[in-house]
Structure 1
Amino acid sequence: MFDIYNIYVKFVSKWNKKRLTYAVLNQNKQLKGRTNSILAQAVRYWGAASGLSFRRVGRKSKRDMAIRFAPKAHGDGYPFDGRGGVLAHAFFPQDGRIHFDADERWTDKSKWGINLKIVAVHEFGHALGLDHTTDIRAVMYPFYQGYNPKFRLGADDIRGIQFLYGKNKK
């Protein structure tokens, strides 16, 4: 039997290496110093499902991906719209920019506000080369579904990342 998957992989680009670095250029003030640990949790989802590994480097270091919180027009041609609406966006490889709307109410482990970890997992997916999917169970579905304390990647997410980078051999 032939199984049709919702593979949503962008074929235009992927990283040509499996060890990637990222830098957090500024902190989210609402999360009071937890920004780095939340973003580290987010990249671990993709590393656990694939042959990728990630290392955070300093703001001024050479890096593959750069993360920042910015309001409204922030210089990339894709301005944010304030609270609600567009939460974040990321550019496909080899660009590596990941931006979060600074006007959102970012939260951690709370159903109130916007969960940074879940949105970050989605945006890291784009930065790794994944596009949106039609599978509502996948993190790469194009709409934020709210906080889920049992959050995990969907089967479609895992198939997509493994298609690009292989399985985790650990």
Structure 2
Amino acid sequence: MLSTLLILVFLPCCLSFPVIPKTTLDDLDFFKDYFHRFFFTKEKSQHYALEDQLRFLQHFFRLEETGWLDEPTKAIIRQPRCGVRDIADYSFFPGKPKITSNPVTYSVINYPRSMNRRTVEKILWKAAEVWSSVTPLRFWRVYRRDADIEFAFLAGDHGDAYPFDGKGDILAHAFAPDPDYQGIVHFDSDEHWSYFEEGINLFLVAVHEIGHALGLAHSQDSDSIMFPTYQYQDPRLFRLSDDDIIAIQTLYY
């Protein structure tokens, strides 16, 4: 009798505890992984409350700084994006590294399955020309492995400590200029690359990654080609934003 009475007394209290939906837990896990990959490492994140981490990310993407995992925040972290880490409030990599040779040589190591070689070569040349149109830089295609910039289409774990994740989230990545090795631009070969809206537009991603190879970090301006997430626009109408032009000319003028 006593045990039954205790159950009846405590049952309403027990039922009052909120049950966190699985979708919410999944979203939180996704956010934490995203934040560790692109902002603070797990070790550094331990010094910041989850609310502070959310505000930091929202500040970078110029969202309302609610400190909650709200719908705009969930939407931005679910978008396909570049694999380069985000450096809040900076347009350049630390030390402002840049390529010192001119013309800038580039080589193409291999090609995606979804496009023919000639089309890929034309797209990469046009992407490079975007940056030469606003700087003194000129680009020159070479057929050797010691070019200033090397383009390759790779999948999964490809030996640089930044594995691709298959079709979906991470589209490509590039490394800042370094005097000890050539610039490297890697595209995820599991993506469906194209020159149109279908799939992932190679031209737009290539312009972005060449920007990294020249020394630009990510921009907080959503109109910039250096914004971290992929946003389709018609390549025939593409123009660099003022933010892009000011940043690249700061390095190369």
TM-score, length-scaled by structure 2: 0.60
RMSD (CA atoms)? 1.4
Among 121, 127, 137, the alignment partner of 1:52 is: 137
TM alignment of 1:135-146, pairs within 5 A: 135-146=221-232
* Number of the residue aligned with 2:242: 155
Quick check: 1:51–1:165 contact (8 Å CA) kept in 2?
Answer: yes
Q: Which has more helix, going by share of residues?
A: 2
Q: Give the secondary structure class of the aligned counterpart of 1:49.
A: coil
Equivalent-residue separation in structure 1 for 2:126 and 2:100 (angstroms): 23
Aligned-residue offset at 1:15: 1.4
Q: Deviations over 1:98-156 (max 9, x none)?
A: 00000001011x21110000000000000000000110110000100123241211110
Q: Out of 162, 172, 180, which is 1:78 matched to?
A: 162
Equivalent residue for 1:8, pick from 67, 91, 94: 91
Q: Aligned match of 1:132 in 212, 215, 218? A: 218
- Normalised TM-score (structure 1): 0.89
* Greater fraction of residues in strand: 1
> What is the CA–CA distance in structure 1 between the aligned matches of 2:245 and 2:218, rounded to whole Å?
13
User: Is the 1:18–1:165 Cα contact (8 Å) retained in structure 2?
Assistant: no
User: Residue type matched to 2:183 in 1?
Assistant: G
Aligned-partner SS, 2:129: helix
2-structure distance, mates of 1:92, 1:17: 15
Name 2:176's counterpart in structure 1: 92
Identity of aligned residues (%): 43
Other-structure match for 2:106: 22
Partners of 1:17 and 1:64 in 2: how far apart?
8
Q: Secondary structure at the match of 1:35?
A: helix
2:108 counterpart letter in structure 1: V
Q: Which residue identity is paired with 1:132? A: H
Query: Which residue is equivalent to 1:114?
Result: 200
Rounded Cα–Cα distance in structure 2 between residues aligned with 1:160 and 1:7: 10
**Which of 1 and 2 has greater Rg?**
2
Question: Which AA in structure 2 matches 1:21?
Answer: T
Segments of 5+ residues of structure 2 without an aligned counterpart are 1-88
**CA–CA separation in structure 2 for the residues paired with 1:126 and 1:32:** 25
Quick one: distance in 1 between partners of 2:220 and 2:173?
18
- Structure having greater relative contact order (Cα 8 Å, sep ≥ 6): 1
Aligned pair count? Answer: 159
